[in-house]
Amino acid sequence: MTIRANARRAGLISALFACGMVFAADPAKHHVQVMAESKSVPADSIVLRGDHATTRLYEALVEAFEKAGDGRVAVQPFSTVSGLDALHAGTADVAASARAAMPDRAQEQGTNFYPVAWDALVPIVAPSNPVSGITLKQLHDVYLGRITNWKDLGGNDAPINLDGVAPPLDGVEYSTRLLLFHYGDQNVSVSRMYVNTEKLEEDIALNANGLGMSTLAGVARNAKVKMLGVEGVHASTATIADGSYPLYSAIYLATRNGGPRSAEAEKFVAFADSDAGKAILRQEGLVPYADAPDLTTTKQEARIAFVDAHLKPPMLMMDGRPVSAPNATLDMLTRTSPTSPETQKVRVDAARLKAAKQVKADPPKDAGN
């Protein structure tokens, strides 16, 4: 199935999601229970809605927040788009997302995205699958439908059943495609689509030929699936923090100004960034965002260069070093770290390269002739 994200389709799917079941955290038992969104959310609770990849990680944070007497939180795990659209509509106070904002998406205009922690995007397969690792190029080509058989990855002679989450505005899907293609809504070839990562993981556990993307913190304790190494590196908190695992990615909490519970929502976000909150994030297998500040600067530059070099050869040289796809790199950095010093530097480099190419194509005439 070939898919492309667009606001109309995303809005339709998220509206359908909103008609289904939602969930709330039980702080006494630290698990989730099914509840009806319109009837069962306590009046004094803020609503935290978002994708399974992140909301399930925030349950321990919610428990500690409530035990500290700072407020109550109703957790509604479902999908990224359902969380962000509910925030936009005023039916949620906080959204959990495994991707940064899409600047051009109307429903996300005016939303504050706060990076909370670093996680890793991980390819997962069934434990019976003999393949233990994959390269960036192989993953790239599987997504594009260029590799369709496990034997091409060193496995059995069997078709690859690539799982995905609909729509591609999902946090894990979007972030994966952003890293591999520089565009989070890149057209891909996906054979099976699921409403969220939880359902995807359930299929992978039962599908000997399945392949999908999830997060380290989400599946590290799940013996029913196996994580593949990427470029010979396995995801861990250590390889996330040092930047050696190439598919590290930030997770976010999002709020909007002016909502009826915006002050309470901001209080929960602040708790996530407190010492107590960071300790809980570490216990959940995450790297608190502030613990690895260079992942957004020098290591981000190195990571993008590393990924690009493994997907295609360098195209241009700047200051004696290869620069691969400068405009695409700038686009990616603008989406992920719009105000970082590295983004500003790449913007200048891209402009210089454009000017240099223009001069080469149309050299200035000698004024004396």
Q: In order of start, what are the domains of the chain with their CATH numbers? A: 2-116+251-292 (3.40.190.10), 120-241 (3.40.190.10), 297-361 (no CATH)
- Distance linking the first and last C-alpha atoms of the chain: 61
Q: Dihedral, CA atoms, 137, 322, 235, 116, nearest 10 degrees? A: -120
Distance between CA 1 and CA 193 in Å, rounded? 8
Element counts in the chain: helices (H) and strands (E): 14, 18
Q: Dihedral, CA atoms, 356, 179, 174, 99, nearest 10 degrees? A: -100
pLDDT at 29 > cutoff 50: no
- Is the CB of residue 178 less than 8 Å from the CB of residue 335? yes
pLDDT (0 to 100) of residue 232: 97
C-alpha distances (whole Å) from 239 to each of 213, 236, 244, 280, 288 are 18, 5, 5, 19, 14
- The band of 260, judged by pLDDT with boundaries at 50, 70 and 90, is confident
Distance between CA 80 and CA 97 in Å, rounded? 6
C-alpha distances (whole Å) from 209 to each of 55, 122, 192, 368 are 28, 16, 12, 70
Task: Indicate the DSSP class of residue 139.
Answer: H
pLDDT at 113 > cutoff 50: yes
The backbone torsions φ and ψ at residue 318, rounded to the nearest 5 degrees and listed phi first, read: -145, 125
- The band of 35, judged by pLDDT with boundaries at 50, 70 and 90, is very low
Mean pLDDT (the chain, rounded):
81
Percent composition of the chain: helix, strand, coil (DSSP 3-state, to 5): 45, 25, 35
User: What percent of the chain has pLDDT above 90?
Assistant: 55
pLDDT (0 to 100) of residue 191: 86
- Is the CB of residue 346 less than 8 Å from the CB of residue 329? yes
- Region 267-288: what's the mean pLDDT? 95
pLDDT (0 to 100) of residue 330: 65
pLDDT at 287 > cutoff 90: yes
pLDDT (0 to 100) of residue 103: 80
pLDDT (0 to 100) of residue 40: 66
Closest CA to 236 of 120, 367, 368: 120
Q: Tell me which amino acid residue 62 is.
A: V
Show the tokens assigned to 178.
């952003």
Distance between CA 214 and CA 199 in Å, rounded? 11
pLDDT at 341 > cutoff 70: no
Most confident of 159-163, 184-188, 255-259, 300-304: 159-163
Q: 286 by DSSP, 3-state: which?
A: coil
Summarize pLDDT for 315-337 with one digit per residue, the tens: 444 555 545 555 666 666 666 66
Closest CA to 4 of 146, 198, 179, 173: 173
pTM for the whole thing? 0.76
Summarize pLDDT for 302-320 with one digit per residue, the tens: 898 899 889 975 444 455 5
- The band of 79, judged by pLDDT with boundaries at 50, 70 and 90, is confident
- Is the CB of residue 240 less than 8 Å from the CB of residue 37? no
